[in-house]
Amino acid sequence: MINQYIQEKQNEINPLIKDECQSLNLPERLKQPLIYAVEAGGKRLRPILMMASFEAFQPKSTDKIIHPALALEMIHTYSLIHDDLPAMDDDDFRRGRYTIHKAYDDATAILIGDGLLTYAFQVVSRSNQLEAEEKIYVLQQLSQASGLEGMIAGQFLDLQSENQNLQEEELNNIHQLKTGQLIRVAIKIGAYLGGATPPQIEALDEFGRYLGLVFQIQDDILDVKGNKDDIGKPVGSDEEKNKSTYPKVLGLNQTNEIKKHYMQQAKKKYDDARINQPRLLELLQIFGERTS
Ligand code: GRG
């Protein structure tokens, strides 16, 4: 059921994100790496989460969510491109293919990342589906989550933490910023545009916070126990870079325990929101048990 939903949404998102990029008037040698960057391969989990959260409120105009969803995936894609650069995590593979700086060069990867980040805001601000007030909300939320106090601070702290022995609390802080902010904002924007009340937005925002932690914990587990073909990059890359991860700090058993605990906390917050969208719970399950 949920797999079919994910597939349907991927089929909706993939051509749209490609069309948005294809429609740009660009030199061919810039467009090629841009299309390479946005072509299918990613799981599109963030836009799917946003759509599921939005649909929980049975909104009248279902097209409203498209531009914010595409923008979020563009921001996520930019973050992965820059994260893979030699100055950051220095990874050669992503989504089962060469990273942009490997397939092209560093300058191209930096520029494609910059371009996707700015284009995301353009796509929302010129949307013909959103009211002016909605655009401001979406732009504010996206810029805050991806900005200095959000993902950028998380990335900075993560890079600084290499070769350091972090405690669980510090790990949580880094990941709530680095990975968690975009996941959380997906849920929040979906709820707001769907017409959620302020208490519902608050409860779902907390749901998103736990979901982000569950996602990262599973990512760390996959780096230890995953399969290279499934995760699209070599297993053990965290260990190789001497990074603090949940399994390293807590051991695998305890890591699985806290993952379960956060999944339960997320479920409680979902209940607090008093909505009927079992897909969000199924997505929580997928986040916690995914193999890719
Ligand atoms: C460069 C400013 C800047 C930020 C980068 C999110 C991030 C910040 C870096 C990613 C590092 C990383 C691999 C973290 C693990 C969790 C994660 C975000 C995995 C990738 O997300 P998926 O699995 O990827 O949703 P796909 O390819 O499916 O879109």
Q: Is the CB of 217 under 6 A from ligand 1?
A: no
Mean pLDDT computed over 286-292: 91
Q: Is the CB of 178 under 6 A from ligand 1?
A: yes
Q: What is the pLDDT of residue 231?
A: 65
Q: Is the CB of 91 under 6 A from ligand 1?
A: no
- Give the pLDDT confidence of 103-132 residue by residue, as tens digits: 999 999 999 999 999 999 999 999 999 999
Mean pLDDT computed over 144-168: 95
- Atom from ligand 1 closest to the CA of residue 94: 27
Tally of domains in the chain: 1
- Give the pLDDT confidence of 70-99 residue by residue, as tens digits: 999 999 999 999 999 999 999 999 988 999
List b or e across 102-117, with b for residues whose CB sees 16 or more CB atoms inside 10 angstroms. bbbeeebbbbbbebbb
Q: What is the pLDDT of residue 204?
A: 98
Torsion, CA 119, CA 125, CA 129, CA 131, rounded to 10: 160
Domain with 267 in it: 2-289
Task: Give the Cβ contact number of residue 74 at 10 Å.
Answer: 28
In Å, what is the CA distance from 175 to each residue of 17, 70, 94, 186? 27, 23, 20, 16
| Closest C-alpha to ligand 1, atom 3 | 79
53 pLDDT more than 70: yes
Contacts of the segment 14-17: beta carbons below 8 A, 24+ positions apart: 14/39, 14/40, 14/44, 16/66, 16/70, 17/70, 17/73, 17/74
| Closest C-alpha to ligand 1, atom 18 | 179
| Span from the CA of 80 to the centroid of ligand 1 (angstroms) | 5
- Give the pLDDT confidence of 216-236 residue by residue, as tens digits: 999 999 998 877 676 666 667
Band (pLDDT 50/70/90 cuts) for residue 40 is confident
Q: What is the pLDDT of residue 216?
A: 96
Contact 161, 244 (CB under 8 A): yes
- Atom from ligand 1 closest to the CA of residue 83: 1
244 pLDDT more than 80: yes
Q: Is the CB of 151 under 6 A from ligand 1?
A: yes
Mutate to test the pocket of ligand 1, among 92, 160, 178, 246 (most ligand atoms within 8 A of CB): 178
Mutate to test the pocket of ligand 1, among 39, 48, 72, 83 (most ligand atoms within 8 A of CB): 83
Percentage of the chain modeled with pLDDT above 70? 97
What CATH number does residue 97 fall under? 1.10.600.10
Q: Is the CB of 158 under 6 A from ligand 1?
A: no
Mean pLDDT computed over 196-222: 97
Q: Tell me the range of 88-92, 165-169, 201-205 where mean pLDDT is highest.
A: 201-205
Cα gap 10→62, rounded to integer Å: 16
